[in-house]
Structure 1
Amino acid sequence: MTPSFPSASIMALHPDLEALLDMVEIATATGKRPVIHQLTPAQARREFDDASAALDLPPEPLARVEALLLPTRDGQRLDARLYAPRAHGDGPALPVLLHFHSGGFTVGSLDSHAALCSSLAQRAPCAVLSVAYRLAPEHRFPTAAHDAIDALAWLGSHADTLGLDPARIAVGGDSAGGTLAAVLALAARDNPALPQPCLQVLCYAGLGGRTDTDSHRRYGQGYLLDTETIEWFYHQYLRDADDRGDWRFAPLLAPDHRGVAPALLVLAECDPLRDEGHAYARKLADAGVPVTVREYAGMVHEFLRMGNIVADAAQAHEDIADALAQAFGSVPGGPHPHMASLNSAPAASSR
């Protein structure tokens, strides 16, 4: 049975988000809020981190928050941060989510996603390893993809020493971080030396590499993430036009999606990237991959990190944590009934 997917339609913005966007529009028009694609990358990074602190709740207090350095293939080291709900050595090995932050491959940091990562660690519960992959334009494509693959390889060989379970690794991220998680699922399928993820969590991920979908036309201006800003991000990251056709930038274009990890796609209804999320879900389902789609009505891009604005952010955190718990629970004792049923059941949606 082929999974069914919600049809595209325009619904009202959540009233709290509508109020936020009204304030953003006024601040932009009066020059009090900079337009991100008119800034330098360094300025954009400061603006992104400052906005993150204002929109999101404080990080959850956890028993373990540990700074790490991860080696890369070219001899550099990546900052990373491990979140865990209990101290190292206190109990059995924890499953772990390898997480990559949003920001168009150009902005974003460990700090901008501290609240999201700590929330998922607390709710699942599991460990979350957040990786600060190298950013563009200083490090253009495919550096971020290489960093993600290197991080997964390192985690697989060092999980035991960190008190983590190498057999229960999920990969995930939001926006550009979701792109990297999708890339990892494909790369791991093709490379048995890499840990095989038990779940890929793709939150409003960039998957198609284009800005010509219906959701781009509907929501590409005035809904927080503008198409012009997306193209600015792509310009920072990509080396040339040919990179747009590379599946490591646009996983939707991969020639074969069979055999990748089961997927949870978290989508925002009023998001220019929504349609490519649905397209990717269909691509996975057609390839026989278990897939669940959660589309949140009235939400905009980045809503997972707007806990100060909308309660739906906390509900989405719970939904992701539940999917992680089920996926992690399926590994030691065989497929979890929920995950196993996704091959034939219609994809779920919160709409």
Structure 2
Amino acid sequence: MYGASREAIAAYPDQPIKIVVGFAAGSGSDILTRLLGKEMAKDFGQAVIVENRTGSASNIAARDAAQSKGDGYTLLLATRPNVIHRSVYGTFRYNLQEDFRPIGLVARIPTVLLTGRRTELKSVDELLRRAREAPEAIKCATPPAGTTGHLIWRLFQMKTSVSLLQVPYRSPDAAFGDLIGGRVDSLFSPIAVANPYLQSGSVRALAVFSRERLSIAPEIPTIRELGLPADLEVDTWYGLVAPEGTPPAVIEKLNKSLNTVLSMPSLQEALLQRGFVPASQPNTAASFGDLIASESAMWGALIEKWGTAASLH
């Protein structure tokens, strides 16, 4: 399986490394990967190229990366949709646990519940009260099926016994535009995407779905403070994986470089300022593999409980 020569492994990397990202340039995933790649390039002494392949919540990117040679020169920035895609889409012929080898967790991004300034919804209590008085009266913008924002929309309704009218969007720009314009009332978003809108004052954050308040937005209360169930603490996570067949020694080199750059104060600060929480140490390939397995089990069970993939849309 691991056909690379000892010389090739010892020399790794002796050519540019490509990281495939399943979201557009300027997205949170893209920004994270470029910040990471810049520092890993310095650490390795080789260019790290970010390649954006958009579509189907990063599943096109993952499918294509799975078909790449397992030599350590093509990596994938993996995230939750890559774990649960078979339950949601059912058409992409790859399996993150079987077709890739984990390298390590990169970062997490807490989720925030937002409303537009044009709505009268200024607290979670107000939102829940109105939703219970008039089911589906509150319009909620949702990202593509299988993304964290979409799953939290579904989980939030289940845990709070309310019904929010889904208004699906393909891009965050369109969703935020309609939230600001008052055409939808609410939105679940990663803080890294929402922060520029919060800074401009065009949207309002009602809650953050994390255990602690955020350093970049300490005024936002946590769901625990608001009395909501702790199992709503769902964030967006990102990690690096390589195609199956990548030699263990190369995985080890990649993991070492990843943790070296994530330990740099300058990169940590750059990530935190944008809403990313860098992976904590120890950050091993095995621990990231365990995360992928637990995510697959958890969300697979929930999606099965919700009925069918179609029920998510």
TM-score w.r.t. length of structure 1: 0.27
Q: Which has the higher helix share?
A: 2
* Larger RCO, structures 1/2 (Cα 8 Å, 6+ apart): 2
Which of structures 1 and 2 has the bigger CA Rg?
Answer: 2
